[in-house]
Amino acid sequence: AKKLLKKYLTLPSVSKDGKQVEIVGNIGSPDDVKKVIENGGEGIGLFRTEFLFMDRDCMPTEEEQFESYKQVATAMEGKPVIIRTLDIGGDKEIPYMGIAQDENPFLGYRAIRLCLDRKDDIYIPQLRALLRASAFGNIKIMLPLITSMDEIREAKSLIKNIKAELDEKNIAYNKDIEVGIMVETAAASLLADLFAKEVDFFSIGTNDLIQYTMSVDRGNVKVANLYSAFSPAVLRSINRVITEGKKAGIMVGMCGEAAADPLLVPVLLAWGLDEFSMSASSILKSRQIVSLCDSKDLRAKVDKVLEMGCESEIKDYLKKISEELG
């Protein structure tokens, strides 16, 4: 099977009816880039920067961060590199930051909430490192856990101020750098039409979107039966985000685990998802599935899941569609 997939290394990610998408990789450090390239990744769809902050006893400096971001941008040679700003809290703890444990970590002080509260020591150095590294490749900035318009505007205004500072000091950066958001909360999904007018792209984070739509802790095995990308509520939410993003003319990607689910790839493709971001080892398999799909022909078929009320019914139905693809 591995050998058969090898031919997809040099083929574009295009469906039978000519719809082209991007299949890109998720990484946690510059060292992970190699595997993405070896597996035919067309870019980086999610660089989880929190890993630069973990397993050490002090914060990485702006300079250290700049070097890491630059390394990834350079290695990808102009291909898109979406770098997510720090997403700690929740399940990702960093002892030296001195952040008290919340009673409900997933609903608490984390990600963009924490960063906007700690601009001087955390957020500004990271954003400055990202902007400086943007001179070396096609870096895009992605904001995690967005729930409100104010968060988007505040982060964008910070970026604007840092750009002005870099201009003043004659430091190079990409003036047209794209700024997008993770759509991974129920609020962001419901406001997708409005948020789409404020940002350059969406990336759907299904790992959290499932958790925040189903009210189910993503790590709790006792309620894991409810944690499913096939749940009707989650699929309606995903459909909504893609539809609203496309209506506004922005790129819509997905970087949660669902992007590489063999049963969901045809659905996402038919709904118009532009970019699928996943672990390197899933890239070729997903490209094969895309190449077997006729997105136009699939559209009416997969839209039926939006009228189904049971997770199991949806899954069985999608299994049948998948078998028909061959």
Residues of the shown chain interacting with ligand PEP in the complex, contacts defined by CB under 6 A: 46, 48, 87, 184, 205-208, 255-256
CB of 55 to ligand PEP, least distance (A): 16
Tell me how far apart the alpha carbons of residues 134 and 121 are, in angstroms, rounded to a whole number: 21
Closer residue to ligand PEP, CB minimum distance, 86 or 321:
86
Q: Is 90 in the site for Mg ion (CB under 5 A)?
A: no
Considering the complex, state which of residue 15 and residue 49 has its C-beta at the smaller distance from ligand PEP.
49
Which residue's beta carbon is nearest to the bound Mg ion?
A: 208
Query: What is d(CA 290, CA 34) in angstroms, rounded to the nearest whole number?
Result: 23
Q: What is the CA radius of gyration of the chain?
A: 19
| Side chain identity at residue 51, one-letter code | F
Residues whose CB is less than 8 angstroms from the CB of residue 61 and which lie 6 or more positions away in sequence, other chains included: 125
Q: Does 208 bind Mg ion (CB under 5 A)?
A: yes
d(C-alpha 323, C-alpha 266), whole Å:
11
User: Among residues 58, 115, 255, 310, which one is catalytic?
Assistant: 255
CB of 204 closer than 8 Å to CB of 292: no
Question: Least distance (Å) from Mg ion to the CB of residue 185?
Answer: 9
* Closer residue to ligand PEP in complex, CB, 40/205: 205
Active site residue 115: no
Q: Which of the choices Mg ion, ligand PEP, none does residue 192 contact, using the CB cut-off of 5 to 8 A by kind?
A: none
Q: Note whether 217 binds Mg ion by CB under 5 A.
A: no
Residue 184, annotated as binding a ligand = yes
3-state secondary structure 114-181: HHHHCHHHHHHHHHHHHHHHHHHCEEEEEECCCCCHHHHHHHHHHHHHHHHHHHHCCCCCCCCCCEEE
Decide if residue 205 touches Mg ion (CB under 5 A). yes
DSSP 8-state class, residue 76: T
Interface residues with Mg ion (CB under 5 A)?
184, 205, 208
Annotated binding site for Mg(2+): 184, 208
The residues annotated as belonging to the active site are 255
